[in-house]
Structure 1
Amino acid sequence: MRGDILSYEADGLVMESHLYVDDSRAGSRPGVLVFPEAFGLGDHAKGKARKLAELGYAALACDLHGQGRIMTDRNAMMAELGALFEAPERVRARAKGGLDALLAQPGVDAARIASIGFCFGGTMSLELARDGNPIAAVVGFHSGLRTKRPEDAANIRAKILVLLGADDPGIPPEMRAGFEAEMRAAGVDWRMHLYGGVVHSYTNPDADAMGMPEFARYDAAADRRSWAEMLAFFDEIFEKAA
């Protein structure tokens, strides 16, 4: 397994992302962008990217804030996310930088590219799709669904899968209904899976350390089930594209 730091510029920032590839596997391979939770690129997203590489994908765990920075101050992080939400072109630029860097790697099949994300990373993946980029699949785990430009869903070329806690207070039923209306209006191939009794950050074992179990809490069963849903989704899409 090879893990390299991949640097590139996006949104005026120098991104330091981590590329994972198993060079023992010959031939071209699908590529997957892995966008982290809102605090930045940490072990959680890197670990998910490594697991994908072990399955034969080229996986790029993407920097979120530039220079590999992880934001530890929750208030500062929320302020940064608020500013980004108001400027979706900046979110899209950061995501597009990762896409371009991944596509430039030898052996990556441009016809088989997915973007997955956790929390705000899911938002980034959806915005990348809304911008009309050539990706085949998007998967959002406990993903933010809102956008300032819902009309841009008409540009989506990817198939969409969102995997949400049914009791996530950050993604309430009315937000899910708005997302459904957006996808329906644009004629997108989309699906949404809900996990009962599950809240935010359910894929991250470190979520419990936040001390906010009513908002963010790890759930091993939902983590396992959602990962399996994603792999089945990839099998369906990438087999057709191969």
Structure 2
Amino acid sequence: MPTETLTYQADGLTMHSQLFFEPADGPRPGVLVFPEAFGLSEHAIGRAKRLAEMGYVALACDLHGDGCLVDDLQEALGLLKPLYADPSKTRARAAGGLQALVQRAEVDPAKVAAIGFCFGGTMGLELARSGADIKAVAGFHSGLGTAAPKTDAKAIRGRILVCIGADDPMIPPEQRAAFETEMREAGVDWQMHLYGNTVHSFTSQGAAKRNMPDAIRYSAEADARSWAAMQTLFGETIG
């Protein structure tokens, strides 16, 4: 499988993202893959490879710049503080990846979607709220809050899917309800899938090493069901 490192500037940072695609004739749909808070890890890279095997051109996106990857949860959360404080920074980093992807000859710029995990899901949603021309966003255990829910969601141009653990303490029912109100009032084509007996990071097989099973835990069932939901969404939007 051809693999390239795409280097580009975003939010004043030099990003080193990984592009995956199978050889094919003509352009095809592209998918941005935004990683968890730790940065561009094997988790996001593995999902990008799976998408490439399905026929998409997938870009596993750098999050912190210079390919920075951290392992400590508190350090990762510290790196996110400026992004939570200013969503325009999150959108700038996401938009940098989008611009790099659509410039590729292998990609049909009219058929681009984004997926993201944890904070990466938030990135995908913020990219959509910015009015970017993306056809779909699928967020897996993604934070749903935003700075201006009553206005920014009106700029969303694609379909939205969020897949959430029903027992995720990081995305409580109040946040889910606020997101539903935001999507309803903006007239967005949206879905929210809830998975019972499921908490945060349910797609990450490395979640167990955090030793926080009540908050962070892999679920094979929720992982498979959410990935299937994403595939259905892509079939409806980018083919």
TM-score, with structure 1 as normaliser: 0.96
Aligned-partner Cα distance in 2 for 1:146–1:217: 22
TM superposition shift of 1:103: 0.4
Q: CA deviation at 1:107?
A: 2.3
Distance across 1 between alignment mates of 2:108 and 2:136: 13
The list of structure 1 runs, each at least 4 consecutive aligned residues, that deviate by more than 4 angstroms after superposition, is none
Aligned amino acid, residue 91 of structure 2: R
2:201 maps to which residue? 201
Q: Which amino acid aligns with 2:176?
A: R
Per-residue deviation, residues 170-229 of structure 1 (Å, max 9, x unmatched):
001110000000001111000000010000000010011110000100111111111111
Question: What 5-or-longer segments of structure 2 have no aligned partner?
Answer: none
Alignment of 1:78-117 (within 5 A): 78-117=77-116
Distance 1:120 1:203 in 2: 13
Aligned residue number for residue 234 of structure 2: 234
Correspondence for 1:74: 73
Segment drifting more, 65-74 vs 207-216: 65-74
Could you say which residue in structure 2 is the equivalent of 1:3?
3
After the TM superposition, which of the residue ranges 76-85 and 99-108 deviates more from structure 2?
76-85
In structure 2, the residue matched to 1:187 is 187
Paired with 1:86 and 1:222, the residues of 2 have a C-alpha distance of 31
Report the TM-score, using the length of structure 2 for normalisation: 0.98
- For residues 51-71 of structure 1, the C-alpha deviation after alignment (integer angstroms, 9 at most, x for no partner) is 000010000000000011012
The equivalent residue for 1:171 is 171
Q: One-letter code of the match for 1:171? A: I
CA distance in 2, matches of 1:60, 1:130: 20
Q: Displacement, 1:28?
A: 1.7
User: Percent identity of the aligned residues?
Assistant: 58
Q: What is the identity, as a one-letter code, of the residue corresponding to 1:90?
A: K
Q: Which residue of 1 aligns with 2:32?
A: 33
Q: Distance in 2 between matches of 1:45 and 1:106?
A: 23
* Secondary structure, counterpart of 1:60 in structure 2: strand
Q: Measure the CA separation in 1 of the matches of 2:230 and 2:97.
A: 20
Deviations 1:11-62 (A, max 9, x none): 0100000000101x22221000000000100100000000000010000000
Task: Give the alignment of 1:13-162 within 5 angstroms.
Answer: 13-23=13-23, 25-150=24-149, 151-162=151-162
